[in-house]
Amino acid sequence: MINKVRLILLIIITVTMKGLTVEKLYQTIPKEIMGWKAEEKDEFYDRETLHEYINGGAELYLTYDFKQAFARRFVKPNAPEIILEIYEMNSSKDAFGVFSSERQDEEVGIGQDSEYGGGLLRFWKDKYFVSILVIGDEKVAKAAILELGKRVADVIPSIGKKPEIIKCLPKENLVENRIRFFHTHSILNRQYFLASENILNLNRQTDCVIAPYQIGKQKSYLLLLQYETQSKAEAAYQSFLQNYMPEASESGVAKMENDKWTMAKLRQELLMIVVEAPDEKWASQLLSTVKFELGVLESF
């Protein structure tokens, strides 16, 4: 009984903290950073209005569980403008998903994962994805961008969990900073164009990851798709075979026209696909090393 009360109190405290955090976050972000001063008015956008701010760029955030965005512009005489944007998602896994979607540069140690390049700092922490961009000469503003990033990361009080499905990726030969987490067909096609139609039956409830595996110059991709039920995974597997490689039949393996191999395998609600494998053995070995841990999958 006492434990139950403790649990309820913990939940109430956590929810209250989270509620306060959102408000506090925008109020506690610095309005001045190394001589750059915030413009008077901050901007806020939600799922309905994000298009007005970043037009087609909004579609990426909307395929994840985007909630609201905050933008603050910093100006300084004779210096380029700095734009801070904070995108709040409904879950930390989707904040990671947005971050992962175009990760390419070196880690700079801000938030839970980060990168800086070309005047753009990107990082995520808890359920927030943060972008800080300079419009103009990045060398002039780099120190301020990084400092602002650290200050923003500091006011986000908690850390979030990465998507559980990432734990299923074998570590050996994995290109870690190219792991992409997503949900939908449109984002899959951004990472690896497979087909014009949604032949894998993806939707916002499917948790998916695609990651490259490289040995020397040889590279292939492992695609893991977590469906809500085993029957949905089975339907997606059959759809993939029928529409993408009908010659594979139930073997789930076929040689493509570029002499690379594609192999698919179903395991309960997890559909696993290797594409661009240099040979059948490579594909088979990669699939056999997927960390299929029931505990992991059951925790979804």
100, with CB counted inside 10 A (0-12, 13-18, 19+), is: buried
The verdict on 268 binding another protein (CB under 8 A) reads no
CA distance linking residue 283 with residue 220, whole number of Å:
8
Q: Compute how many residues bind another protein; rule: CB under 8 A.
A: 40
CB of 186 to another protein, least distance (A): 7
Residue 185 to residue 63: CA distance in whole angstroms: 10
Can you tell me which of 256, 281, 298, 299 binds another protein, judged by CB under 8 A?
256
Give the H/E segment covering residue 43. strand 43-46
Q: What's the DSSP call for residue 278?
A: S
Q: Which of 122, 125, 127, 180 binds another protein (CB under 8 A)?
A: 122
Cβ neighbors of 86 (< 8 A, separation 6 or more) are 25, 26, 29, 69, 70, 71, 128, 129, 130, 152
Tokens of 180: 């992409």
* Tokens encoding 210: 């695609």
Copy the structure tokens of residue 298.
């059951």
Tell me the C-alpha to C-alpha distance, in Å, between residue 214 and each of 1, 20, 87, 166, 217.
Answer: 53, 44, 32, 17, 7
Q: Is 243 near another protein (CB under 8 A)?
A: yes
Judged by CB under 8 A, does residue 87 bind another protein? yes
How many angstroms separate the CA atoms of 185 and 195, rounded?
A: 9
Pick the binder of another protein from 1, 4, 104, 216 (CB under 8 A): 104
Comparison of 273 and 297: residue with beta carbon closer to another protein = 273
Rounded to the nearest whole angstrom, what is the least distance from the CB of residue 197 to another protein in the complex? 5
Could you give the 3-state DSSP secondary structure of residue 101?
Answer: coil
From candidates 173, 186, 203, 289, binder to another protein by CB under 8 A: 186
Give whichever of 146 and 168 is closer to another protein, judged by the CB atom: 146
CB of 297 to another protein, least distance (A): 28
Query: Do 115 and 106 form a contact (C-beta atoms < 8 A)?
Result: yes
Figure out which of the listed residues 64, 66, 244, 282 binds another protein, where binding follows CB under 8 A. Answer: 244
CB of 72 to another protein, least distance (A): 14
Position 155 contacts another protein (CB under 8 A): no
Q: Is 257 exposed, middle or buried (0-12, 13-18, 19+ CB in 10 A)?
A: exposed
In whole angstroms, the minimum distance from the beta carbon of 34 to another protein comes to 20
* Of 29-37, 184-192, 207-215, 265-273: span binding another protein (CB under 8 A): 184-192
Binding part of the chain for another protein, among 10-18, 36-44, 167-175, 190-198 by CB under 8 A, reads: 190-198
Figure out which of the listed residues 194, 202, 210, 270 binds another protein, where binding follows CB under 8 A.
194
CA dihedral 64, 65, 70, 76 (to 10 degrees): -20
Binding site for another protein (CB under 8 A): 51, 54-61, 83, 85, 87, 102, 104, 117-120, 122, 131, 133, 135, 138, 186, 189-197, 199, 243-245, 256-258
